[in-house]
A and B are shown apart, each in its own frame.
Chain A
């Protein structure tokens, strides 16, 4: 199940999107998500769909990787759709026992589903085309202004990149320990809840110990290389906006403008009759 979540899984490829400054991608993802919620009309979703399709094409990431993340939110989506479908007051379309499906209900449910799907797909593209390190670098630089308000931006970014770095390591470690205990006849599947929790002890104790050991080693290695926090720390590859990044910002602005205009002036709904 853990492997189904595409968020945070980089897909190596050579594309314009991969080379883009992580800050641009962060801002664009945020803008895309906001635009989905701010401009809710059929015509603007049409624009969003085209934009998403173009970005997916540009990213050169296979489509199934982008939709992988959807599996994880399927239940959430189902609940949202069902609640919206049955609990929105308005013109009734269909009546089933005590529940009524309304025109407005169908509309909100459909919009909600599209929003969620696009949200996941949009953010998946960002994480698939950006390495975790680039991502935290982008955040560190992009949120650097918060230092004025005494927010420890560098420390947060460092913690995030270490945490992200440790996810695959700890997953490998879990796999290894699990196999080793299975070789000794451990059983992680059968039994009731209490039994199962008890059976986890041979897995969790070595896992915690190894996490602490790794943390210790890492801290030592960082200090040995003279790490002393963010003050005065320079980067080997400092983030700088290039021409493509500026072009990307212009395209983003144009997209937002188009979303705004279509939601305001192109009313496909009235033509279709709802």
Chain B
């Protein structure tokens, strides 16, 4: 599914003392099979933006096209849109409610009106995609660890077979190992299923290692929308909006300013290592 937003504006609490423009003129193209990172400081509008993409929030003005169809048109099937654009909220483990892990994952596909075999098949598949085997199926979600709960919640969305998977800060509150595991699994999933993944985060470091495109949000507007290396060239501007480039950017930029002939477009530690070795050998 291809998503496209046109002049999207959203005003929060219109007509009250707390009126605030949360989104300002957002124009984005989200094609198929792309791993995208959405970065922004707290309150930059990134969470508001993603809730527009599956029709949970209605924009004050502007339009969103899903496969060319305007989702705000009368009679547009929002329920189908929501099954195609899977949204995993922040702290998704807080939304678990069933008595066991397996039934909770079944909730989404059940709402799609599938038959029992299909539902269970999808639940098993989704749980294996997040790395939980059948020994977890009958456990209560509340006996699991934080990271495991989160994976159950993500599986609940995956079981709906979305074309676009949006994850709002999927690593918030996890330890470094849990964070890497979840991000690795998401990357693997993206490659295998060829779906579009939007990863919302405030940590450049997290995103830089995985995504192919970064959308930087600031005060409800899109500040940059480009490949990671090009976005990180603006590392000084990023700092002024409360963000930072990955540490390797600082290392290579500092080396360059001290006269080394080094490629500064690297984004991961591995690439940086190669670039530094290359510069040393010159």
Which A residues lie at the B interface, using CB under 8 A?
11-13, 176-177, 179-187, 201-202, 205-206, 209-210
Bound: A205/B142 CA distance, A: 12
Does chain A have a CB within 8 A of B170? no
Bound: A210/B82 CA distance, A: 25
Residue ID in chain A nearest B112 by CB atoms: A185
Chain A residues with CB below 8 A from B56, complex form: 179, 182-183
Give a binary string over B104-135; 1 marks a CB under 8 Å from any A CB, 0 the rest.
00011011100000000000000000000000
Contact assessment for A183 and B96 in the assembled complex, using a CB-CB cutoff below 8 Å = no
Contact assessment for B96 and A185 in the assembled complex, using a CB-CB cutoff below 8 Å = no
A183 to nearest B CB, angstroms? 4
Q: Supply 11 A–B pairs (Cβ within 8 Å), ascending by A.
A: A177-B95, A180-B95, A181-B95, A183-B56, A183-B82, A184-B156, A185-B79, A185-B110, A187-B79, A205-B97, A206-B96
A191 to nearest B CB, angstroms? 12
Chain A residues with CB below 8 A from B246, complex form: none
B1 to nearest A CB, angstroms? 15
Chain A residues with CB below 8 A from B92, complex form: 180
Does chain A have a CB within 8 A of B86? yes
Does chain A have a CB within 8 A of B35? no
Does chain A have a CB within 8 A of B83? yes
Does chain A have a CB within 8 A of B160? yes
Contact assessment for B17 and A183 in the assembled complex, using a CB-CB cutoff below 8 Å = no
Bound: A186/B160 CA distance, A: 12
Bound: A184/B87 CA distance, A: 8
In-complex Cβ contact of A206 among B51, B94, B156 (8 A): B94
Does chain A have a CB within 8 A of B54? yes
Contact assessment for B94 and A185 in the assembled complex, using a CB-CB cutoff below 8 Å = no
Chain B residues with CB below 8 A from A182, complex form: 56, 82
Chain A residues with CB below 8 A from B17, complex form: 11-13
In-complex Cβ contact of B51 among A12, A179, A181 (8 A): A179
B275 to nearest A CB, angstroms? 41
Does chain A have a CB within 8 A of B102? no
Bound: A179/B79 CA distance, A: 12
